[in-house]
Structure 1
Amino acid sequence: MTKAHAGGVPANVALLPLAAEDDRTGSGRAHGRARRPFAGYVFALSALVIAVWTVMVGFYAEPDRRVLWVGFNSLVTVTMLLAARLALRRDSRVGLVAAGLAVFMVTDLWFDVATAPSDYLPMALLTAATLELPYAVGCVLFALRVHRRTTGTPLSPSPEGVFK
């Protein structure tokens, strides 16, 4: 079995424990049934929404920006699909993909706001504040949760642990 790092955590450690939060038996069951990886379905639904949005952008975006937005949104869609697949398979690498997805979402909102014409700027700010930024924050929180659960380390390590 390979090791993920010097701490000795197996590389194939499960993404999220199957047991309920209060189940300390390690049985992997919550009330007799395995928990479903909710995050995987969120990522999959998000990918579907962004894919539909990308098609619409392909038809209605300004011609000089069409390739830019279709290409970037396609990259975001593929990243969301990868996150969905990893989450549904309970693969701990989903945390890395979720962190990257957060960067994509912040980049997307930045360019949405920075390139918005003056008549579209209020809508760009609204979508940035209500959709893209909360999604990015959720991805970061999810990535930190996966990291904590797979390594068993606290979210804020001591300075001594960082500089070893």
Structure 2
Amino acid sequence: MELRGAVDHGPGEPGRRQRWASAALVVAGLALLPWLLVLAGCLPGGSGPVRWTMAWVGLDALESLGLVVTGLLLARGDARRCVTAAATAALLATDAWFDTTTASAGEAGTALTMAFCAELPLAAVCALVACRALPGRGR
């Protein structure tokens, strides 16, 4: 799996869908930044072995970074987007799983809405970007 020649040398510039997906990923990643402040302020801090605020804020910060980096690599036609997109898809799916399985009864609706309207669709986009960028895949 050769990623050293990181820039795709396909014909022409990236297509309209690729540019749109790139911009959407960057915007989604940047939109998470204010959410990190909300999370940091409203989650129970905890100490000792369970530090929920650090765990959730850290997970969402990694998702934000992954979305932005994947979007930027996609815009450049950089083959390394395969790696960042796959990792980001896994992080988003994990976040959806933990949000829905740890939500209290009163928070379940919000957790399911976030999972099905934000985290899982973004994970699907990232998975698609990763699959389409696999080295050796016919273009």
Q: Which runs of 5+ in 2 are unaligned?
A: 47-51
CA contact 1:37–1:90 (8 Å) conserved in 2: no
Residue in 2 aligned with 1:94?
A: 81
Structure 1 residue 14: Cα displacement: 1.2
Query: Which residues of 2 match residues 53-68 of structure 1 at below 5 A?
Result: 53-64=35-46, 65-68=52-55
Q: Which amino acid aligns with 2:67?
A: M
For the structure 1 residues 55 and 29, does the alpha-carbon distance in structure 2 shift closer, same or farther, using more than 3 Å as the test? closer
Residue in 1 aligned with 2:136?
A: 151
CA contact 1:98–1:140 (8 Å) conserved in 2: yes
What per-residue deviation string (whole Å, max 9, x for no partner) do you get for residues 77-101 of structure 1? 1222221221222211112211111
Query: How many Å separate the matches in 1 of 2:45 and 2:2?
Result: 46
The structure whose RCO (Cα within 8 Å, separation 6+) is larger is 2
Residue in 2 aligned with 1:12?
A: 6
Greater gyration radius: 1
Which residue of the other structure, out of 27, 30, 49, is the alignment partner of 1:48? 30
Secondary structure of 1:37's partner?
helix
Query: How many Å separate the matches in 1 of 2:106 and 2:13?
Result: 53
Greater helix proportion: 2
Q: Which runs of 5+ in 1 are unaligned?
A: 18-25, 155-164
Which consecutive segments of 4 or more residues in structure 1 shift more than 2 A?
10-13, 34-40, 150-154
Query: How many Å separate the matches in 1 of 2:71 and 2:13?
Result: 22
Query: How many Å separate the matches in 1 of 2:75 and 2:6?
Result: 14
Stretch moving more, 101-110 or 64-73: 64-73
CA contact 1:44–1:84 (8 Å) conserved in 2: yes
TM-score (norm 1): 0.70
Q: Which amino acid aligns with 1:73?
A: D
